[in-house]
Structure 1
Amino acid sequence: MNRYFKSAYLFGVLGGLLGIISFFTLSFFNEDPTTLNLIFGYVIVPISIYLALRYFKDYSNHGYISFAEGMSVGFVAYMIIAILSFIGIYLILSFDSSLFELIKSSKIDTLVTSKETIVSQVGDNSYEATLESVKEMEISDVALNDAIWKIVPGLFFTIIISIILRKNPN
């Protein structure tokens, strides 16, 4: 079982650390690094999954990988990325509460400046509920949101990459 997940652990940890580093670095250049970090996640997650599956196929499984093996290795890789990203962002925001307050105020400002557009699309009640939700936001909400947006595309890319790399022995 360990051979199945050696590559997943390796590239999952690498992707998770890159996610943490990107959040930390982006916090110096932008008062709300969450949006740019999500975009960076859309790049690093598929690359990490591809490398994990390719490494498993080439070095652990004699050049073969089934769809199920690809899904298993990919799942472990993107879950490790998401968990490490959650922990890293949570710790960064816990130690730097002013950054969390900047993120929160930025999200509130975005909602306030876009009120007319949002209300026309979803209605006044939804807008008010969203605004209240953002005002009550906690550090764990920011970290969990980032983790979720590592998992969702991770599943999507794992399916695609597993299909592309699939090669069963004859």
Structure 2
Amino acid sequence: MYKYLKTAYQFGTLGGVLSILSFFILSLIYPDPTNLNLVFGYLVTPVALFLGIKFFKDYTNHGFLSFAEGMTIGFVTYILIGLLSAFGIWSILLGVPDLFASIQETKWAVLDQNKDVIVSQVGLPSFEATKLSLQEMSAWDVALNDGIWKIIPGMFFSIIISIILRRNPN
């Protein structure tokens, strides 16, 4: 089982560390790095998945890859990326409370700016629920959201990459 997970651990850890580093660097440049970090995650996650599955196929499994093997490598890789990213961002936000306050202020400004559009599209009760949700938002909510948005696309990318790279012995 370890042979399946060795490359997944390596590339999952790499992707998670890059996500944390991205959040940290973006937080130095922007008051709310969350949206740009999600975009960065949409680039890092498929690259880490592809490299993890490809390295397993080429260097561990002698050029062969079943769909199940690809999905196993992919699963461990994107779960690691999501978990490391979430816990890393949570740690940063706990260590720098001003950053969390800045993120919250930016989200309030966006909500206030778009009040008319939001109310016209989803109604006043939904807008009020969003305001309440934003008031109760914690650093863990920001971090968990980032982690989830690394895991969900990772699922789909794993399926596609596993199908593309699949090669069974004849």
Could you state the TM-score of these two structures normalised by the residue count of structure 1? 0.99
Q: RMSD across aligned C-alpha pairs, in angstroms?
A: 0.5
Partner of 1:43: 43
Alignment of 1:131-146 (within 5 A): 131-146=131-146
Partner of 1:33: 33
Say whether residues 1:150 and 2:150 are aligned partners. Answer: yes
- Secondary structure of the 2:167 match is coil
Rounded to whole Å, the distance in 1 between the matches of 2:131 and 2:162 is: 40
Rounded to whole Å, the distance in 2 between the matches of 1:163 and 1:58 is: 15
Rounded to whole Å, the distance in 2 between the matches of 1:108 and 1:151 is: 26
Rounded to whole Å, the distance in 1 between the matches of 2:110 and 2:54 is: 41
Say whether residues 1:123 and 2:123 are aligned partners. Answer: yes
Rounded to whole Å, the distance in 2 between the matches of 1:56 and 1:162 is: 11
Aligned residues: 170
Partner of 1:19: 19
Partner of 1:91: 91
Unaligned runs of 5+ in 2: none
Partner of 1:10: 10
The one-character-per-residue Cα deviations of 1:17-67 (angstroms, maximum 9, x if unpaired) are 000000000001100000000000000000000000000000111101111
Please tell me the residue identity of whatever aligns with 1:89: I
Unaligned runs of 5+ in 1: none
Alignment of 1:77-88 (within 5 A): 77-88=77-88
Partner of 1:106: 106
- Secondary structure of the 1:91 match is helix
CA contact (8 A) 1:32 1:103 kept: yes
Partner of 1:55: 55
Rounded to whole Å, the distance in 1 between the matches of 2:92 and 2:115 is: 30
Rounded to whole Å, the distance in 1 between the matches of 2:13 and 2:150 is: 13
Partner of 1:163: 163
